[in-house]
Structure 1
Amino acid sequence: MASPEPFWRTKTLGAMTRPEWESLCDGCGRCCLHKLRDAETEELVWTSVACRLLDGQSCQCKDYANRKARVPDCVKLTPAKVGAIDWLPPTCAYRLLAEGRDLPWWHPLVSGDPETVHSAGVSVRGRSVAERDAGALEENAVDWPGRWPASARPIPRRRRA
């Protein structure tokens, strides 16, 4: 007998339970990197500078429950916001599912191992700079957070049932 399809293949983002929604985060930390936007061109520029609450080793928020109080410009993702946010990394599960794609092999829900996001080269582990050590954001501009790592190939689009 075939095993049932996982929830992310059968539910829309809006139909997911809170625990299902939260489990979509792969723990890469890319969305917690500071970004710059050119005032004239609206071009997005990634930096390697991590939010002060991001643990650079675990790639998890140090105070997730209170993050909005401690970092007022922290964005709480919702199903409605996902489609409107242009700064989610291309590897982000929320973005992938909103675009009709599947989760990649290294996502912890697929692999069963929270370390695969790191071993696949997707996370910010070892590549981020703490805010207190960074200096000017412009000096820390990078492009890798906006790209798929070569070792973590993208998943082709699929149709929802």
Structure 2
Amino acid sequence: MSGSPDNAVPFWQRKSLEEMTRGEWESLCDGCGLCCLNKLEDWDTGEVVFTSVACRLLDGHSCQCSDYENRWDTVPECIQLDVEGVQNIPWLPPTCAYRLIYEGRDLYWWHYLVSGDRETVHQAGISARDRTVSEAGMPLEEYENYVVDWPVKAGQE
């Protein structure tokens, strides 16, 4: 009998997002930090653009939340991504693992679940590492001075 056991196929290739355990779901986050960038929406057109203004809790170098477990105490509007969000949030970056899996695609070579190294997302230039400014103390009116397109172009180079 040929073939390999099911567990030889990575979970993200054999499970839908709905079937994943909490641990599997959390492990899909590649640590790019792009979802923690503030976005601006044009109320007339609905167009959403990224800024390089990061959530006050984002560590701009590690691209990790500095208080993940308690983030809602500081940032009540922080979005807990779930399956419905993956289906309905238009601004998820094109490289987002949740988006890729939902669309039936595979993870990129630089995702740590593939590469085995959490640094490859940064080495590949996909992350927000060292490209952000904090929202702390910044007036909302200034965000438009920080509009960037690199989050939506990530992985296209």
Give yes or no for TM over 0.5: yes
**Number of residue pairs matched by the alignment:** 151
Question: Over residues 72-109 of structure 1, what are the superposed CA-to-partner deviations in whole Å (9 max), with x where a residue is unaligned?
Answer: 11100111221101011001000011111100000000
Name which of 49, 52, 77 aligns with 1:48. 52
Question: Is the Cα–Cα contact under 8 Å of residues 53 and 61 in structure 1 kept in the other structure?
Answer: yes
Q: Could you say which residue in structure 2 is the equivalent of 1:121?
A: 125
| TM-score scaled by length of structure 2 | 0.91
Give, as a single letter, the amino acid of the residue that structure 2 aligns with 1:149. G
Identity of aligned residues (%): 60
- CA displacement at 1:133 relative to structure 2: 6.8
Bigger proportion of residues as helix: 2
Q: Could you say which residue in structure 2 is the equivalent of 1:139?
A: 145
Q: Distance in 1 between matches of 2:154 and 2:106?
A: 15
Equivalent position SS for 1:34: strand
5+ residue gaps, structure 2:
none
Equivalent position SS for 2:88: coil
- CA displacement at 1:130 relative to structure 2: 1.4
- CA displacement at 1:134 relative to structure 2: 5.1
Q: Could you say which residue in structure 2 is the equivalent of 1:158?
A: none
Equivalent position SS for 1:14: helix
Alignment RMSD (CA, Å): 1.5
Of stretches 135-144 and 33-42 in structure 1, the one that deviates more from structure 2 is 135-144
| TM-score scaled by length of structure 1 | 0.89
